[in-house]
Amino acid sequence: MPKIETWSRLPAEIRGHLVQRMHDRAISLEDLNQLRVWIESSPEVPQGPWYKDFGSLKICGEGSYTKRI
């Protein structure tokens, strides 16, 4: 199984999209911190589509890339 990419290794287009989504939505600091801790743990993710629920946000991806918040 692939591992999720760290923020610095995401393509610029994906990073920009994710930042915009964070600004557009009411995402709590606690949930953002949970997301950060989860990403820093280098979790394994499926090859295909996946999602993870953090309360005030859900993160969706495909393989090692995060696609939407």
Model confidence pLDDT, tens digit, residues 4-25: 888 788 788 877 877 787 788 7
pTM over 0.75: no
Model confidence pLDDT, tens digit, residues 18-65: 778 778 877 777 887 888 888 889 899 999 999 999 888 888 999 988
pLDDT of residue 33: 81
Q: Is residue 61 part of a domain?
A: yes
Domain that holds residue 37: 7-68
Contact (CB, 8 A) for 31 and 25: no
Q: Is residue 55 part of a domain?
A: yes
Q: Is residue 2 part of a domain?
A: no
DSSP collapsed to 3 states, the chain: CCECCCHHHCCHHHHHHHHHHHHHCCCCHHHHHHHHHHHHCCCECCCCEEEEECCCCEEEEECCEEEEC
pLDDT of residue 46: 92
Q: Is residue 27 part of a domain?
A: yes
Domain total for the chain?
Answer: 1
Q: Is residue 34 part of a domain?
A: yes
Mean pLDDT of 1-5: 81
